[in-house]
């Protein structure tokens, strides 16, 4: 069975068609790389490249794309509405299938060293973080590119790779390893935001809920509904159907039904297996039974 690693590289250029095309070409030209999605946003002035493949190929793709980004993009003149601090702003590596965390960490570190060799300061985050204050992207990126020159004078911000010095052209990059994140939204048959907020509070880890669940409530004005919008950060330990059952039970306790749900963005096949096992009560169900998986070997 082939191993599958995913990389989701956020590049700080979303308007210059030529640079985006050159970066795309560098990525697509890498043997063994399957590009899943390229999403450029002009307002954010940012492009998100998502690709998969065997770990070594995924790393090669990241390096090829990064060479173009570092050469062509200048952070000193970059403007965009999305928070950012480097030409390659953030590049998580995500184990999808058959890749152990340790192997993904090694790939992320080799990518970090590569960026360092190009003169770009690198911070490791999530599962690759070297201290607790570097686990969250938001903490590392606080103040964005504009704060970097000051931060590079503070020992606390000594980078994990690359020079301990401000790189005006390339900024700094955050890379590391995280588990596949599943975005799961549940739309409730109510317009009472407080019900949604109570449910989100019970669901999320930070206020006593499920270990790998984050959640907030949002009003959906047009639908006249309230949405409990969740991120599941470990679908093996906090599976989708368990989350669904708990939301359903909590909604029921408020006399509210679930109108519909949304699975947003990519989902590993393994996460669906748990849905089938739980909801149909199939105690034994092997992914080998899914005909298409035989073509992945």
H-type alpha helices, 80-172: 101-117, 137-140, 144-151
Give the contacts of 142 (CB within 8 A, at least 6 positions apart).
none
With respect to a copy of itself, which residue has the nearer C-beta, 91 or 129? 91
Residues of this chain, 50-89, that bind a copy of itself according to CB under 8 A: 52
Compose the 159-198 pattern: x for residues touching a copy of itself by CB under 8 A, - for all others: ---------------------x------------------
Q: Does 261 bind a copy of itself (CB under 8 A)?
A: yes
**Binding segment toward a copy of itself, per CB under 8 A, in 21-29, 110-118, 196-204, 266-274:** 266-274
| CA neighbor of 203 nearest in space, from 236, 223, 233, 178 | 233
Tell me how many residues contact a copy of itself (CB under 8 A): 42
Q: Least distance (Å) from a copy of itself to the CB of residue 232? A: 12
CB 120 within 8 A of CB 66: no
Q: Does 222 bind a copy of itself (CB under 8 A)?
A: no
Active site residue 82: yes
Look at the block and give the residue holding tokens 């390659």: 88
Q: Does 283 bind a copy of itself (CB under 8 A)?
A: yes
Among 64, 244, 246, 254, binds a copy of itself (CB under 8 A): 244
Residue 145 DSSP symbol: H
Q: Least distance (Å) from a copy of itself to the CB of residue 208? A: 24
Q: How far apart are CA 65 and CA 67, in angstroms?
A: 6
Q: Does 138 bind a copy of itself (CB under 8 A)?
A: no
Give the contacts of 201 (CB within 8 A, at least 6 positions apart).
207, 209
**Tokens at 222, concatenated:** 């047009």
Residue 5 DSSP symbol: E
Q: Is 288 left (phi over 0), alpha (psi -120 to 50) or beta?
A: alpha
Contact residues: a copy of itself, CB under 8 A: 2, 4, 6, 34, 36, 52, 96-97, 180, 240-241, 244, 258-263, 265-269, 272, 275-276, 279-285, 289-297
């Amino acid at each position: 069975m082939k191993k599958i690693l995913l990389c989701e590289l956020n590049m700080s250029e979303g308007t210059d068609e030529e640079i985006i095309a050159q970066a795309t070409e560098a990525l697509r030209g890498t043997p063994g790389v399957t590009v899943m999605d390229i999403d450029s946003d002009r307002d954010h002035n940012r492009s998100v490249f998502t690709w998969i493949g065997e770990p070594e190929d995924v790393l090669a793709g990241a390096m090829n794309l990064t060479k173009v980004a570092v050469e062509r993009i200048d952070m000193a003149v970059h403007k965009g509405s999305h928070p950012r601090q480097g030409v390659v702003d953030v590049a998580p590596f995500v184990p999808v299938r058959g890749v152990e965390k340790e192997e993904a960490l090694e790939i992320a570190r080799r990518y970090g060293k590569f960026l360092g060799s190009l003169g770009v300061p690198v911070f490791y985050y999530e599962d690759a973080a070297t201290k607790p204050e570097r686990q969250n992207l938001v903490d590392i990126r606080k103040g964005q590119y504009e704060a970097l020159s000051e931060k590079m004078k503070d020992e606390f911000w000594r980078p994990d790779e690359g020079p301990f010095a401000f790189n005006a052209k390339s900024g700094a990059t955050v890379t590391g390893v995280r588990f596949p994140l599943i975005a799961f939204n549940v739309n409730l048959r109510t317009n009472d935001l407080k019900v949604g907020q109570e449910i989100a509070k019970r669901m999320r880890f930070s206020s006593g809920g499920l270990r790998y669940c984050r959640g907030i409530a949002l009003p959906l004005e047009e639908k006249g509904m309230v949405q409990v919008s969740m991120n599941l950060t470990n679908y093996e330990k906090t599976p989708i159907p368990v989350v669904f059952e708990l939301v359903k039970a909590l909604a029921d306790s408020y006399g509210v039904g679930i109108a519909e749900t949304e699975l947003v963005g990519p989902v590993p096949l393994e996460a669906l297996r748990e849905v089938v096992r739980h909801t149909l009560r199939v105690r034994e169900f092997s992914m080998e039974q899914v005909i298409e998986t035989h073509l992945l070997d």
